Structure 1
């Protein structure tokens, strides 16, 4: 999967979903439709900060052009016509980053897409969940992972991924892969992963961590599953630090509304990281559709890819992929069983 999945036209939500998006001023829905107010003759994007009109005075159309054709004019407060321009600019910036031999500077990227640097920095982060520099680093790390699987020499893989020096590759690998390039290439060789299981009302949970943080939380798995993921890592018993983290994980299973901050060490592409960040931004007790998650990270056409990223989640409950449903409201999939997904959602709603 590439970090950037090109957006295609997204289906407009039904009127009730559109109204709900306006009530919560959902920025993730900007660009998917506009709301038209019959009493004022204006149209707005869902995140507009203006006072909400009465429901009976609102209708919804798929895009600004349709609203203008119906006789409405753009809101001067939220400027709905600029949403499409912003997203095209982010697309152009990502294309520039992907095609550059060296990471372009922020001012060069901003000039390329026609924005002021400080404004585009905020815009890019709003649309993707990452800064342009972080996106470029994640892209290089993803390329390093691919190169490590194809090249026989570590140094060759580092330069093939676009790094100018091995030192930066090793620094990025420690941050994004959780281990050095050589350890990644060799199934975790030289890395120590401590692990254990903790009992919960939804079954035993495996909790595993490197010295950087949690790398696996899963229901119903054991040592064999962990060894299959890291066949050459040193697996060790839980220590006091892991016991503390495991107790917090168990508490989170019992009450997934809890605000728990734990160190993590998970691998993922830039796209996956953006999806996982969007999942953690969903308030407890609320749900989102896969389409809404895709829109939240600026990829409204990448619904299937967003679903795959949810399925690739390594940290059950801590990264709450159980809060994502299909667009029709049905449960969809869950790597650790739909009964557990239903139970977690019920607990978040206090049932």
Structure 2
């Protein structure tokens, strides 16, 4: 087929500042999380599509990436009738309205109220929201309340002040959710773990001396090159003690997970973060062992296209190295990026996975 003439768009370069390799990978994977971040222009057919379009993939040399459907249209392309890429803008606007409502409401809005504000039926909106953010509207709202709660407690607010600042109408739901989110009571968290017990143990691994710490709920820390003093600094009023024989089974299973990172594990974890952090951690666990994903692509999959730096920060906030595999994240140019426990360990983990 003869290639059509494209106005304004140079044929020797992409027209938007987006990592081309990452964008093309999203197209090949038909990654729905990348929809709305850019559109794919196909020069031989004269159309532009969502990254997730189900049509047969074009040749890479015939593709150009545009920041929006408007840019693609200005270059002479027309919207694909199969995937309707311009509908993404309507969906993005609807999501912005819903997120703004969640962030500003004194109490979490109902699904019906959010759907009405977004202009969709509750069923359609629920699917749209989860596809875009990786969590349900209710889970997102709980994450937002938890973030407000922890910030208030960290600033020295009383339990009652933190409860109402976060939008809880009464203590019942507040204490139930707080214990789940924090791994301890709100007063214990505010007071640096007062009244809680965190047990730790060390073990030799091929990556060096591993230190694992756990609450009664599960593993809250897996580190290398750290000491008991580091745990005490985070929870100065908690009871920090060696786990001894009581932790032997958990330590043995954790060492096995470290030595065979490609193998799924069922270790109990006690980790909590913001809705976005938890979405990033879920996506990290979905990356096939031995493979890597850029921070930009990770952010898109977690529901925040363009938030590569925030995705990197979420990886850095991961307190259970290897069990949540942040070693599978890298920079957009293919370089390894950072790793709290050293790039040599990061490379070793990926090599272990590739050779499994």
Give, in angstroms, the shift of residue 245 of structure 1. Answer: 3.1
Distance 2:64 2:150 in 1: 48
Aligned to 2:150: 145
CA deviation profile, 1:69-122 (whole Å, cap 9, x unmatched): 333322233222122322222221111011111111101101101111111111
Aligned to 2:253: 248
Aligned to 1:5: none
CA deviation profile, 1:219-254 (whole Å, cap 9, x unmatched): 122211111111111223336674333223222222
Aligned residues: CA RMSD: 2.0
Unaligned runs of 5+ in 2: 1-15
Residues 87 and 298 of structure 1 are in contact (CA less than 8 Å); yes or no, is this contact kept in structure 2? no
1:48 to 1:212, Cα distance in 2 relative to 1, 3 A: same
Aligned to 1:99: 104
CA deviation profile, 1:184-237 (whole Å, cap 9, x unmatched): 011111112222112110011111111111111111222111111111112233
Aligned to 2:132: 127
Residues 218 and 270 of structure 2 are in contact (CA less than 8 Å); yes or no, is this contact kept in structure 1? yes
Residues 12 and 32 of structure 1 are in contact (CA less than 8 Å); yes or no, is this contact kept in structure 2? no
Worse-matched range after superposition: 267-276 or 87-96:
267-276
Distance 2:114 2:290 in 1: 39
Distance 1:293 1:56 in 2: 25
Aligned residue pairs total 341
Worse-matched range after superposition: 278-287 or 119-128:
278-287
Residue 306, structure 1, aligned to residue 306, structure 2: no
Pick from 240, 262, 267 the counterpart of residue 262 of structure 1: 267
Higher relative contact order (CA 8 A, sep 6+): 1
Residue 12, structure 1, aligned to residue 25, structure 2: no
Bigger Rg over Cα: 2
Give, in angstroms, the shift of residue 165 of structure 1. Answer: 0.8
Give, in angstroms, the shift of residue 54 of structure 1. Answer: 3.3
Aligned to 1:216: 221
Residues 11 and 32 of structure 1 are in contact (CA less than 8 Å); yes or no, is this contact kept in structure 2? no
Residue 349, structure 1, aligned to residue 354, structure 2: yes
Q: Secondary structure at the match of 2:208?
A: coil
Distance 1:341 1:149 in 2: 32
Give, in angstroms, the shift of residue 40 of structure 1. Answer: 3.4
Aligned to 1:188: 193
Aligned to 1:80: 85
Distance 1:115 1:243 in 2: 52
Worse-matched range after superposition: 78-87 or 56-65:
56-65
Give, in angstroms, the shift of residue 151 of structure 1. Answer: 4.3
Q: Secondary structure at the match of 1:199?
A: strand
Distance 2:249 2:131 in 1: 34
Unaligned runs of 5+ in 1: 1-9
Aligned to 2:231: 226
Distance 2:256 2:114 in 1: 45
Matches within 5 A, 1:31-50: 31-50=36-55
Aligned to 1:24: 29
